[in-house]
Amino acid sequence: MKLTSEQLRNKWMKFFSDRGHTPISSASLIPENDPTVLFTTAGMHPLVPYLLGQPHPCGKRLCDTQKCVRTGDIDEVGDATHCTFFEMLGNWSLGDYFKDEMVPWSYEFLTKELGLDSDRLAVTVFEGDSDCPRDTKTAALWEKCGIKKENIFYLGKKHNWWGPAGQTGPCGSDTEMFVDTGKPKCSPECSPACDCGKYVEIWNDVFMEFNKNADGSFSPLKQKNVDTGMGFERALMNVNGLKSVYDTDVFMPIVDKIKELSGTGADNAAEETLRAVRVVADHIRTSTFIIGDERGVTPSNVDQGYILRRLLRRAIRFGATIGLKPGDYSAVANTVVDIYKDVYPELAAAREKIKTEIDEEQARFERTLENGIKEFEKLCKYVQGDTIPGKSAFRLYDTYGFPLEMTVEMARERGFKVDIDGFNKRFEEHRNLSHAGAEQRFKGGLADTGELTARLHTATHLMHKALKDVLNDPNVNQRGSNITPERLRFDFSFGRAMTPEEVKAVEDKVNEAIAANAEITCEEMTVEDAKAAGAVGLFASKYGEKVKVYTMGKFSKEICGGPHAARTGELGHFRIVKEQSSSAGVRRIKAVLE
Ligand code: SER
């Protein structure tokens, strides 16, 4: 190993600190107050308000390593490079430097710090269209640095445009950097746009200078930003000349543990065995980070909890094919915690919880499987002809977590076929429905820092404090928050249903704070000072960076990124619409301003 994971993280932080960037801690994997996405998917995601022009308490130059989850490529997991969890190394200019600085820095980091051969680097730049001109400037900068002209490729929006993360928000053209693996070109037109495997992406610099509006048009942002992201696991793989991300030091101990528990010699194992080992490694790593997050969630049938459930069940399904047993999955998770405990201490703090949740989900899945098998037996009795209808196969998938290939296999044993087209049709319909749902959610807009959401956000703070006062229980704490322009939704730890009197008392307290028309002020300070000043809020600071503290008269003091109303009087009238259970020990409130 030429560079360990620890060395690579440190090199990144040092390189950018030396160039005036403040290191900031990774944000939670569960975005706060953002109804548009389930997980943090990129380093820029928690920084959207600052890319739009709000001043960041740590200044205009930032760098970090951010925990990210993306499940879009879940079917690809098991190949050399796709993961559902990854770390993203990132640096930002918030209206400060632009292309002239970023391109030479990228070149310097890749060639000097990572030791990559300049002649083996290829880059892409934006070819230009009616929204944004051809980026000859960036191409010229690359050439001046020493990138060979034939290794600079102009590509269109499909390849060289990044964002917005939702339907609206900050975005811009980008320049991507690739390592040429040395494989011959698959055709004379072969370029980094081609997925033949000759070029492997290593870094992306986005020149974020536009906001995409709801009508699809682009308008210039208040400030020109740089947003860069380097996929950590892939960078480790490239720098060390390894064949897959699973051979890097963040994955090897996990893979070894799975081999040990399953007795699989994955080195010379059949392809499907190798794939199963990798799927388990990837999915258990992601699940460990989701459960062990500072805003960790547990398996359920909604939102993040549902993704977690699917990841765990998929890991168990694949694990069963290589002989993993109940209890093995949480043992693998324990290895994940050991690897990351120094970089992400929240995992060590949640070690027991991670074990319990994984073991319990494993047991639940086993019970569902039994019911599913019973359902399948019934189906076989009543099916007409020799084909199991697509809708039945989909029901087994949807309700009992049966993958299609499992249903097909069981059917084959009994001399039945499965209507796969019918299954796929249902599957697509379901997918479109969830897309429709997702699109609804996007309407709130990742960049929706509008007045309505700001007011509801302020109401959330007031309610949080009112809940603490009324319920008078030190365990009452925020567990999740989600705001759309119509309502706020707030999850908090508390062991029982609230009484109607308590609900009313919380409403009264919030309305009292609104009636007082208190001024809302924001100060910047270190996390330690914020805690000393009595501010509530979750913030694991590794670097002693500054945070914003919002004070609402005598009613509330919280660590928070904002934005908020200027005075509490803007909020109108506060009403709790619903108080219900969210999961064990967690209550959920929906409330509106009217
Ligand atoms: N936002 C860009 C990406 O995700 C660069 O950080 O690739």
Model pLDDT for residues 66-115, shown as the tens digit of each residue: 999 998 777 788 888 889 999 999 999 999 999 999 999 999 999 999 99
pLDDT confidence bin for 373, thresholds 50/70/90: confident
* Mean pLDDT over each residue of the chain, to the nearest integer: 90
Q: Which two tokens stand for residue 118?
A: 């300049």
Distance separating alpha carbons of residues 458 and 466, to the nearest angstrom: 13
Find the 247 Cα to ligand 1 centroid distance in Å. Answer: 24
Find the 24 Cα to ligand 1 centroid distance in Å. Answer: 17
Closest CA to 547 of 563, 525, 578: 525
Closest CA to 315 of 365, 368, 367: 365
pTM for this structure? 0.79
Percent of the chain with pLDDT over 90: 66
Find the 267 Cα to ligand 1 centroid distance in Å. Answer: 34
Dihedral, 527, 532, 536, 538 alpha carbons, nearest 10? 30
Find the 244 Cα to ligand 1 centroid distance in Å. Answer: 21
Mean pLDDT (whole number) for 128-155? 97
Q: Which two tokens stand for residue 128?
A: 């230009």
Closest CA to 530 of 541, 517, 516, 543: 541
Residue in 102, 228, 230, 234 to alter for ligand 1 test, most ligand atoms within 8 A of Cβ: 228
Find the 53 Cα to ligand 1 centroid distance in Å. Answer: 18
* Residue located nearest, by CA, to atom 6 of ligand 1: 229
Which ligand 1 atom is nearest residue 42's CA?
4
Cβ neighbors of 394 (< 8 A, separation 6 or more) are 422, 423, 426, 427, 430
Closest CA to 535 of 460, 449, 461, 453: 461
Which ligand 1 atom is nearest residue 206's CA?
5
Distance separating alpha carbons of residues 574 and 551, to the nearest angstrom: 19
Q: Which two tokens stand for residue 333?
A: 């998770």
Find the 41 Cα to ligand 1 centroid distance in Å. Answer: 9
Distance separating alpha carbons of residues 324 and 270, to the nearest angstrom: 17
Q: Which amino acid is at 553?
A: G
Q: Please give the DSSP secondary-structure letter assigned to residue 282.
A: H
Which ligand 1 atom is nearest residue 41's CA?
4
Find the 317 Cα to ligand 1 centroid distance in Å. Answer: 32
Find the 43 Cα to ligand 1 centroid distance in Å. Answer: 7
Find the 40 Cα to ligand 1 centroid distance in Å. Answer: 12
Q: Please give the DSSP secondary-structure letter assigned to residue 109.
A: I
End-to-end alpha carbon distance in the chain: 60
Pocket residues: Cβ below 6 A from ligand 1:
42-44, 90, 162, 204, 206, 227-229
Which ligand 1 atom is nearest residue 163's CA?
1
Which ligand 1 atom is nearest residue 229's CA?
6
Residue in 26, 64, 162 to alter for ligand 1 test, most ligand atoms within 8 A of Cβ: 162
Closest CA to 98 of 7, 17, 24, 205: 205
pLDDT of 445 higher than 50: no
Which ligand 1 atom is nearest residue 43's CA?
6
Which ligand 1 atom is nearest residue 44's CA?
1
Model pLDDT for residues 378-395, shown as the tens digit of each residue: 989 888 889 999 999 998
Find the 227 Cα to ligand 1 centroid distance in Å. Answer: 7
Residue in 41, 88, 106 to alter for ligand 1 test, most ligand atoms within 8 A of Cβ: 88
Q: Strand, coil or helix: what is 344?
A: coil
* Residue located nearest, by CA, to atom 3 of ligand 1: 229
Which ligand 1 atom is nearest residue 205's CA?
5
Is residue 127 a contact partner of residue 133, using CB atoms and an 8 Å limit?
no
Radius of gyration of the chain (CA): 25
Is residue 129 a contact partner of residue 94, using CB atoms and an 8 Å limit?
no
Which segments of 344-467 are extended strands (E)? 387-388, 417-418
Find the 44 Cα to ligand 1 centroid distance in Å. Answer: 7
Is residue 64 a contact partner of residue 15, using CB atoms and an 8 Å limit?
no
Per-residue pLDDT, 560: 85
Secondary structure in 3-state letters for 521-574:
EEEEEEHHHHHHCCCECCCCCCCCCEEEEEEECCCEEEECCCCCCCEHHHHCCE
Place of tokens 């308590």: 502
Distance separating alpha carbons of residues 25 and 263, to the nearest angstrom: 39
Distance separating alpha carbons of residues 383 and 369, to the nearest angstrom: 20
* Residue located nearest, by CA, to atom 2 of ligand 1: 229
Q: Which amino acid is at 82?
A: H
Find the 91 Cα to ligand 1 centroid distance in Å. Answer: 10
Model pLDDT for residues 177-208, shown as the tens digit of each residue: 999 988 999 999 999 999 888 998 999 999 99
Residue in 37, 39, 44 to alter for ligand 1 test, most ligand atoms within 8 A of Cβ: 44
Mean pLDDT (whole number) for 143-171? 92
Is residue 392 a contact partner of residue 358, using CB atoms and an 8 Å limit?
no
Model pLDDT for residues 536-592, shown as the tens digit of each residue: 887 667 777 888 899 999 999 999 887 899 999 999 899 999 999 988 889 999 999
Per-residue pLDDT, 497: 96
Residue in 45, 93, 173, 227 to alter for ligand 1 test, most ligand atoms within 8 A of Cβ: 227
Model pLDDT for residues 310-349, shown as the tens digit of each residue: 899 889 988 988 999 999 999 999 999 999 999 999 999 9
Which ligand 1 atom is nearest residue 165's CA?
1
Model pLDDT for residues 264-306, shown as the tens digit of each residue: 875 566 888 999 999 999 999 999 999 999 999 998 877 788 8
Mean pLDDT (whole number) for 12-36? 91
Is residue 124 a contact partner of residue 160, using CB atoms and an 8 Å limit?
yes
Is residue 206 a contact partner of residue 172, using CB atoms and an 8 Å limit?
yes
* Residue located nearest, by CA, to atom 4 of ligand 1: 42
Distance separating alpha carbons of residues 96 and 340, to the nearest angstrom: 33
CB neighbourhood size of 138 (10 A): 24
Distance separating alpha carbons of residues 497 and 261, to the nearest angstrom: 43
587 backbone dihedrals φ, ψ, rounded to 5°:
-105, 155
